[in-house]
Structure 1
């Protein structure tokens, strides 16, 4: 039973069985979902290598080190707006870096991904430490944890 299942899934097993017991399924009609091609496409996608000695990486490090609050954001992002709002309510000056208006925005976002484990925005830092994104900041504000940074 297992051999027949393997035969149906992999063409290399086809030759070892008679055609009455083992036939290959027809080609999938949508080439972008062709499972034979997916292995080749998936193996061609490589993670981006981030140069942590680049000018963008130095910019990120210097910005985080020299400001109490830094928000890396995009102007159109609702989660970024969610992250900025609590700081506005607390009258805290935050350094906001809008990546969509920055010619190095994509590279900066890659550096942030390397530093924080995710490339999504917002990326919020307080006292040089990464504290989270939009929902994290909102939750911290609602529980009073965010206010403790500024007392």
Structure 2
């Protein structure tokens, strides 16, 4: 297993809510704004700001089948991207609470 895949999986496993993001991405901003509006605690990793960001993005594709950002996990479960997150807005408070993020 690649070191990037190990690192990505470790980040997912150690955090209740993870947003793999890019600093310039409007969909990433929308996802983080929604989580912020709900008062969620989450771990955001800006892939364009770190040296191994491309490798992590490739590893995420192996883990979830999704390479695009945002790539969101709640309670170690792959949620998907921004449209997926926005689509479960009504369930989010309970999911976040169950993940220990509220």
Question: What corresponds to 1:69 in structure 2?
Answer: 17
> Deviation string for 1:6-34 (max 9, x for gaps)?
xxxxxxxxxxxxxxxxxxxxxxxxxxxxx
Match of 1:127 in 2: 75
What are the superposed Cα offsets for residues 64-85 of structure 1, whole Å, 9 maximum, x if unpaired?
0010000000000011111111
> Which whole-Å CA distance do the structure 1 matches of 2:62 and 2:69 have between them?
13
Unaligned 5+ segments in structure 1 are 1-52
Equivalenced residues, count: 97
Selected match of 1:145 from 79, 91, 97 = 91
Q: TM-score, normalised by structure 2?
A: 0.90
How well do the aligned residues superpose, as a CA RMSD in angstroms?
1.0
Matches of 1:150 and 1:97 in 2, distance apart? 18
2:60 equivalent to 1:112: yes
Deviation at 1:134, TM superposition (A): 0.7
Alignment-derived partner of residue 90 in structure 1: 38
Deviations 1:96-118 (A, max 9, x none): 01000010000000011111112
Larger radius of gyration: 1
- The answer to whether the Cα contact below 8 Å between 2:66 and 2:80 also exists between their aligned partners in 1 is no
Q: Could you say what secondary structure the match of 1:130 adopts?
A: strand
Q: Is the 8 A contact 1:74 1:100 kept in 2?
A: yes
Gaps of 5+ in 2: 98-102
Preserved contact between residue 74 and residue 96 of structure 2 (Cα < 8 Å): no
TM-score, reference length from structure 1: 0.62
Which protein has greater RCO, CA pairs closer than 8 Å, 6+ apart?
2
